[in-house]
């Protein structure tokens, strides 16, 4: 049976600094019920898990239709293999790259409109929240944003990065993680040149260093213990983080107030391939988690590229601060390699599959080499299970 979270009311909101362009959402928080499991946090701490792009191409939509037996769409089966990992985290965050369509008008690349049943599949897998700021957020204008956030609300999945109103855009998403309050902020580098809806400059968070830092400080001032920032950035099909990622990561992780870093973890998406993890200025940065769900992927040269179906789960264990003015410390940092099997239409926990005898060791090891390529092993990053 799917492990379920019990909902806990959270009366914390934070008006974001930086005006109408700064945005995220505040909702109830989520907390796991049940006994501790492997990968669970020590007493008084919590685990935060994050995953890469959910990008339903036509083939993915067709698979979900088949899994539903021709009655709507069911995205839960394709995530069943990683449900145990997601559901036992105290806070689990996904990245929803696409917006939702309506009344059967669902499309894949290049202009995405996904079935709203995606939200139910994410909720059933155990996700608490999703970043919704991406270069595809405006694929169907303001209506696409509204349908997407409405569906996530119905499924009980929180969201950050796009908004239906200015008030929503100026309020931060906060989730309960055991004893801690975790703020989730999200931003994208672009919207594929699509203009913001008329009169709605706040509809999508765009990356701006000053605004991100101001928003993080506002969230902290309102009571957030940990600030997690999702960034949709980087160069597609490039294993190595590009100069803009490296520079922005360095500046964001250097920002502090009262001797305490303003941001506690950076979670990157967009490149379609797994990228390195690195500890920068004492803060963990995931440059790119890759595509968790996507159809057959073709790179910039027009060639099928299997890297587009490889990704990682990032899992960080946080321990309480030594004193009230200190930061929550990451005591364990882990990555978990994944593969979306385009033939089966299933996300695969690669290390588990290899241990079970699957001939996927070379894929698992390639992801490992990329993830550790900037020296994260010396700072304690390990492969999780």
pLDDT digits (tens, 9 = 90+) for 76-127: 999 999 999 999 999 999 999 999 999 999 999 999 999 999 999 999 999 9
Cβ contact 289:14 at 8 Å: no
Cβ contact 167:12 at 8 Å: no
Angle between helix 117-125 and helix 58-67 axes, rounded to 10 deg: 70
What pLDDT sits at residue 323? 87
What pLDDT sits at residue 84? 97
Interacting residues of 302 by C-beta distance below 8 A, sequence separation 6+: none
Retrieve residue 260's tokens.
Answer: 């305490």
CA–CA gap between residue 230 and residue 70 (Å, rounded): 35
Give the Å distances, CA to CA, from 178 to 47, 48, 83, 298, 360.
9, 11, 20, 41, 36
CA–CA gap between residue 326 and residue 72 (Å, rounded): 49
> What one-character DSSP code corresponds to residue 171?
B
CA–CA gap between residue 380 and residue 324 (Å, rounded): 25
Whose CA is closest to 294, among 304, 283, 280?
304
Question: What distance separates the 2 farthest-apart alpha carbons in the chain?
Answer: 57
Q: Where are the alpha helices (DSSP H) in 205-242?
A: 209-221
CA–CA gap between residue 360 and residue 236 (Å, rounded): 24
Q: How many CA atoms lie within 13 A of 79 on its CB side?
A: 30
Would you call 358 exposed, middle or buried from its count of C-beta atoms within 10 A (0-12, 13-18, 19+)?
A: middle
pLDDT tens by residue, the chain, 385 residues? 333 332 332 333 444 444 433 333 333 333 333 334 555 666 789 999 999 999 999 999 999 999 999 899 999 999 999 999 999 999 999 999 999 999 999 999 999 999 999 999 999 999 999 999 999 999 999 999 999 999 999 999 999 999 999 999 999 999 999 899 999 999 999 999 999 999 999 999 999 999 999 999 999 999 999 999 999 999 999 999 999 999 999 999 999 999 999 999 999 999 999 999 999 999 999 999 999 999 999 999 999 999 999 999 999 999 999 888 899 999 999 999 999 999 999 999 999 999 999 999 999 999 999 999 999 999 999 999 9
Phi then psi dihedrals of residue 378, to 5 deg: -70, -20
Retrieve residue 54's tokens.
Answer: 């959910």
Question: Which H/E stretch holds residue 112?
Answer: none
Q: Which residues pair with 95 in a beta bridge?
A: 53, 131
CATH number of 5-383: 3.60.21.10
Retrieve residue 25's tokens.
Answer: 């959402």
What pLDDT sits at residue 67? 98
Phi-psi region of 380 (alpha: psi -120 to 50; beta: other; left: phi over 0): left
What pLDDT sits at residue 38? 52
What pLDDT sits at residue 23? 37
CA–CA gap between residue 282 and residue 51 (Å, rounded): 22
Q: How many residues does the chain have?
A: 385
What pLDDT sits at residue 344? 97
């Amino acid at each position: 049976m799917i492990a379920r979270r019990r909902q806990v009311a959270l009366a914390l909101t934070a008006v974001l600094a930086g005006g109408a362009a700064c945005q995220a959402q505040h909702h109830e928080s989520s907390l796991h019920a049940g006994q501790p499991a492997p990968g669970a946090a020590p007493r008084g701490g919590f685990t935060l898990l994050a995953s890469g792009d959910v990008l339903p191409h036509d083939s993915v939509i067709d698979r979900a239709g088949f899994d539903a037996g021709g009655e709507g769409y069911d995205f839960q089966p394709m995530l069943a293999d990683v449900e145990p990992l997601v559901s036992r985290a105290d806070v689990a965050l996904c990245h929803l790259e696409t917006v939702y369509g309506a009344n059967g008008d669902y499309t894949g690349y290049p202009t995405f409109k996904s079935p709203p049943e995606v939200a139910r599949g994410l909720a059933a897998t155990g996700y608490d929240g999703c970043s919704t700021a991406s270069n595809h957020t405006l694929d169907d204008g303001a209506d696409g944003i509204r349908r997407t956030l409405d569906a996530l609300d119905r499924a009980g999945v929180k969201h950050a990065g796009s908004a239906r109103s200015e008030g929503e855009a100026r309020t931060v998403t906060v989730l309960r993680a055991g004893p801690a309050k975790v703020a989730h902020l999200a931003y994208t580098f672009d919207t594929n040149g699509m203009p913001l809806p008329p009169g709605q400059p706040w509809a999508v968070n765009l990356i701006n260093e000053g605004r991100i830092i101001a928003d993080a400080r506002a969230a902290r001032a309102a009571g957030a213990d940990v600030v997690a920032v999702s960034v949709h950035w980087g160069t597609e099909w490039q294993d190595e983080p590009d100069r803009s990622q490296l520079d922005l990561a360095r500046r964001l992780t250097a920002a502090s107030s009262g001797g305490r870093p303003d941001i506690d973890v950076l979670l990157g998406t967009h490149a379609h391939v797994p990228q390195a993890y690195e500890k920068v200025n004492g803060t963990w940065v995931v440059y790119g988690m890759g595509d968790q769900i996507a159809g057959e992927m073709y790179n910039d040269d027009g060639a099928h590229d299997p890297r587009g179906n490889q990704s990682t789960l990032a899992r960080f264990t946080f321990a309480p601060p030594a004193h009230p003015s200190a930061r929550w410390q990451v005591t364990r940092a882990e990555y978990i390699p994944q593969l979306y099997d385009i033939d089966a239409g299933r996300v695969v926990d690669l290390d588990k599959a290899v241990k079970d005898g699957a001939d996927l060791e070379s894929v698992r090891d390639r992801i490992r080499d990329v993830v550790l390529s900037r020296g994260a092993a010396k700072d304690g990053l390990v492969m999780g299970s």
